[in-house]
Amino acid sequence: MPVEKRTGVPASPGRSAGPVVHMPPRVPEPATSRIEPDAVERAAAAVREAAVRVEEDLAERAERATGTAADILSVTAAMAADPTLAADAAHRVRTDHLTPERAVWDAAGTVAAQLESLGSPMAERARDVRDVRDRIVAVLTGAPPPGVPDPGHPFVLVATDLAPADTATLDPATVLAVVTARGGPTSHTAIIARSLGIPAVVALGEAADLAPGETVLVDGTDGVVLSAPAAADLLAAGLDDGDAGGGADTGTGPLVRRRPSARDVFDGTAATRDGHDVDLVANVADPAGADAAAGAGARGVGLFRTEFCFLGRGTEPTVDEQVDAYRAVLARFGGGRVVVRTLDAGADKPLRFLTPDHEDNPALGVRGIRTAVDHPEVLDRQLEAISRAARAESAEVWVMAPMVATADETREFVAACAAHDLTTAGVMIETPAAAIQARWLLADAAFASLGTNDLTQYTMAADRDLAGVAALSTPWQPAVLDLVRVACEGAAVHGRPVGVCGEAAADPLLAPVLVGLGVTSLSMTPRALAAVSTALRQFTLEQCRELAASALDKATARAARKAVRDFQRGGS
């Protein structure tokens, strides 16, 4: 069989090969059937009971998960617990005498349509609603619940798309690689895959053509999928048949496992070949994530997401609850720096007690620091909790606000932090406005951190989860790189450090470019620390600057990436 090459969008670096297993089909749509009047109340009660079972299952999984996976499962569990869907379905049972599964299906369809009418990013929540719908219907009908398949051997997972709750349960011990027809390089699928070290290619329109059981080679670094790879292809990718790792013979040929992309262990320090220090730190979302980061050698945290205290709740956590949660993270980095991001609510992370019930375009609405306009008390209580936690632990605590766009917002946030004795206050640069105005923002802020996921989304006007614009949703876009340069130059006017805490920081190919643009620290999933450290050691600071200049000089993201790849391979 000839080797067939298909090209999608690179989402998680690394190479792996193995047999294809497709995501099982979704729960089938129930027939429109009626029930007898005397069964109505039992059917309505069944809806509520099924929703509770789904919520409890997801919440239990969230407790076992860490980081972004735990956040995703918590949000999905909260959606299952929201009484709106179950109440609407129960009403349809009582009014139209529909079977409970049909009532749930129709009620979820109404909610999903409403979310889709709001546009991105709320339209993406429609996928979550349908996932919850399928889980409730599965409970009601006894059908197999949605989930990642378990064929009994390692495999390459192929799907049209993955619901966030499914993505959050990926097991790197069995899922060798992920290929999806939809999604983008900063979608939840891509972020989770990178955090787990699973190679991934997304927006591959021909994903459905990959035959179940056939061996494929997935190159998540270059976005390529090879069908029926030859031995030479495997060897060129650093793989061979001997990497089967004891996997069972499935009748589809030898299983081929990926080799770790990082050949050495991160020791907590990083520098270019000529000794220019680069601070490599970790992104952390909860205490379990802090344990993983410390275990991977991280000596500090460049992004501590505090949403885990708030997600899945109907009320704001108390100051004491927040203090305990923050201390659990700070305690793992005594003497190290921990950059705490204040609550990033809104858009795809709505909170009932804080964010508006309805916005026509939530991505451009009240999110991040903007929630403090109507609810300054929530920010004040969080800063109080961060300050108390900082005093109780020995970590060096910096604080930054998300979604800052103006100098006025910066000054107000810095003053709010100072009122709580938090003297190192910074801002996240996630909008083109903040990047362009960095010299004004950094006149007051002590540091900045570039959130490249949102910066790319807003710069390119491209939804990070849409396959149709996935090629636009990459930090390799010269326009995005130029904004990174502008932000670093603006910060340099005041001698302020600038970090990157978006997914771009975890890309070993892009990391030297970011350093060449003036970035002083890179914060990433702990699994990427060793690979990025190794990549930086290959170049002097001047070579990093040459890489950056070369990328900026290209007209397209593909050309910029190729130029850097050629340089690293010795093509310069």
Catalytic residues: 188, 501
Q: Which two tokens stand for residue 99?
A: 């079977």
Tell me phi and psi for residue 176, to 5 degrees: -75, -35
Using an 8 Å Cβ cutoff, are 322 and 385 in contact? yes
What is the C-alpha to C-alpha distance for residues 135 and 153, in angstroms, rounded to an integer? Answer: 25
Composition of the chain by helix, strand, coil, percent to 5: 45, 15, 40
Using an 8 Å Cβ cutoff, are 220 and 15 in contact? yes
CB-CB neighbours of 305 under 10 Å:
24
Q: Please, what's the b/e burial string for 397-421 (b: 16 or more CB within 10 A of its CB; e: otherwise)?
A: bbbbbbbbbebebbebbbebbeebe
What is the C-alpha to C-alpha distance for residues 419 and 384, in angstroms, rounded to an integer? Answer: 9
Sign of the C-alpha dihedral computed for residues 242, 248, 254 and 257 taken in this order: negative
What is the C-alpha to C-alpha distance for residues 101 and 141, in angstroms, rounded to an integer? Answer: 7
H-run or E-run covering 125: helix 122-141
Task: Of 385, 387, 409, give the one whose Cα is nearest residue 398.
Answer: 387
DSSP secondary structure code for residue 318 in this structure: P
Angle among Cα 454, 458, 463 to the nearest 5 degrees reads 80
Region for 268 from its dihedrals, namely left if φ exceeds 0, alpha if ψ lies in -120 to 50, beta otherwise: left
**How close are the terminal C-alpha atoms of the chain, in Å?**
36
Sheet strand arrangement including 200-202: 4-7, 224-227, 215-219, 15-22, 155-159, 175-180, 200-202, 9-12
